[in-house]
Copies of this chain bind each other. A is one copy, B any other.
Amino acid sequence: MTKATYTEQPVGSHGFVRLVDSMGDDAAICQAARVSYGEGTKSVNEDRGLIRYLMRHYHTTPFEMVEFKFHLKMPIFVARQWIRHRTASINEYSGRYSIMKDEFHFPELRHQSQLNKQGSGEDLDPDVARAWMADLDQHYSGTSDLYNAMIRSGVSKEQSRIVLPLATYTEFYWKIDLHNLLHFLRLRMDSHAQKEIRDFTQPIADVVQELCPWAWEAFEDYRLNAVQLSAMEWERIVAFVHGMAEEYSRSTYDILPADMTGKMTERELREFEEKFK
């Protein structure tokens, strides 16, 4: 592992992602899986195939055997989304115990999406965005003055903090196993996730890819870039493939996997063909 893995990766105005510690790697996944399967399949090459098999068939428990601990700093509105994932361990900076710092998030503003009621679309015109940044700056510094005045006059920290905006930075330790981390990444790297949380997922993905390259590859192939088709959608595709074959007097199995090359193993090709039966 390169030193870089443990280096603070900056995100946004004041945020960062930093790996603090980890336990296990691709080999640990295989080691745990083989307790179930007994002896056999042991070469390094077989490890990759085993990991892909486990990922493909939702044998998720071996991925729980790898653990990551990050130190994260992010705005509270992002942390509120983050903390909804209940399978992690968290120790967060306490605004009851400690003074909150003058650190606020300045976003790259986007228009409300017209298609997606909960999403955003195009970036604002740079001049308009700049004007808003001036407003935010004034708002943040006014809020900060109010907060600090309350603290100085002896109002409790736990109450003074309530004037602070959701853009205020917080930080926490976050420990999670690989299975649950990948599930988190699948949801939060998705284009429907808010851009401000997605910005934090890339440095985390980089760490996973470096420490568990095969698990990451399998995750990309079978989750992140995979497609879930409904019963009806799949029925349509199968009908279409069979229909084409019939219409043009060709064999289904000729048509379909003929140009399948590259990453798929023999076993994966066979499983694919079986889906059309």
- Residue positions of A touching B, CB distance < 8 A: 20-24, 28, 31-33, 35-38, 56-58, 61-62, 64-65, 67, 69, 71, 75-77, 80, 83-84, 86-87, 89-98, 105, 107, 109-113, 117-121, 124, 128, 132, 135-136, 139, 142-143, 146, 150-151, 153-159, 161-168, 171-173, 175, 177, 187, 192, 194, 196, 220-222, 224-234, 236-237, 239-241, 244, 248, 255-257, 259-260, 262-264, 268, 272, 275
A259 touching B232, Cβ below 8 Å: no
A35 to B91, CA, bound (A): 7
Query: Contacts A143-B139, A150-B132 given: A163-B162 contact, CB under 8 Å?
Result: no
Question: How many copies of this kind of chain does the complex include?
Answer: 4
Q: Are the C-beta atoms of A118 and B256 separated by less than 8 Å?
A: no
Q: State the CA gap A168–B161 with chains docked (Å).
A: 12
Known: A111-B156, A112-B154. A226 touches B221 (CB 8 A): no
Contact A89 B65 (CB under 8 A): yes
A194-B96, A232-B263 known; A166 vs B156 contact (CB < 8 Å): no
Contact (Cβ within 8 A) B172 A35? yes
Main secondary structure of the interface of A (DSSP, over half): mixed
* Contact between A236 and B259, CB atoms less than 8 A apart: yes
Interface centre among A57, A69, A83, A173 (most CB of B within 10 A): A173
